Amino acid sequence: MLSTPDTPLPDAALSWYPLDQLPAGLQTGHELIDREHRTLLGCLDALRRLCIDLPGMTDCQSCSVERRHDCDQHLVSMLGDLIAFILDHFQTEEKIMRDSLMVMLDRDVCEAHMEDHANISSKIQEIVMALDPQRTVVRLRELENLIERWIENHIRLHDRLLVRWIELDPPLTAA
């Protein structure tokens, strides 16, 4: 159902949640990492529901002042939750790298993975710094593109490689 610029935000847009299924191409086989990636996909889903026409709107002028305020407030809240989530998620992955000794034995791969974490965090900070109630839809699209790239590139490349490393037989772990 397509809402009009003055209809209230749907409840589903107010929170994000882990999805039940993770597409096969994104499954790493690591329970915690996959659960957190489902949460990330839930965030993407909630983000897409925030705007009444995310792909089509160029700015927020066609929405009422109240709707623009609500969207902006929900985006700010979502960004706060997303920042907390990614910091925790990145710490989890980097702890796995340390505990599995990957950081010592394959340092270049770990540094590339951690550099990607820093780039993602930096992009989110740029979006936060550029918040403007008149351009919320633009920030939403930027965030959508960032999360899509994270899903398509980071998970497929870095996270799947990390899980393959920790599944080595015999597993290498720190004492």
Amino acid type, 164:
R
The tens digit of pLDDT for each residue in 43-92 reads: 888 888 888 888 888 888 888 888 888 888 888 888 888 888 889 999 99
pLDDT band of residue 113 (cuts 50, 70, 90) is very high
Residue 174 has pLDDT above 80, yes or no: no
User: How buried is 60 (Cβ within 10 angstroms: 0-12 exposed, 13-18 middle, 19+ buried)?
Assistant: buried
- Level-2 CATH architecture, domain 20-53+60-166: Up-down Bundle (1.20)
pLDDT of residue 155: 87
Single out the residue of 72, 8, 54 nearest to residue 148, CA to CA.
54
pLDDT band of residue 117 (cuts 50, 70, 90) is very high
Single out the residue of 158, 145, 114, 155 nearest to residue 47, CA to CA.
145
Decide: 127 and 146 in contact? Cβ < 8 Å. Answer: yes
- Rounded CA separation 94/111 (Å): 10
pTM: 0.75
Decide: 78 and 16 in contact? Cβ < 8 Å. Answer: yes
Average pLDDT of the segment spanning 16-20? 59
Residue 38 has pLDDT above 80, yes or no: yes
Computed over every residue of the chain, the mean pLDDT equals 81
Residue 109 has pLDDT above 80, yes or no: yes
pLDDT of residue 18: 57
Length of the chain: 175
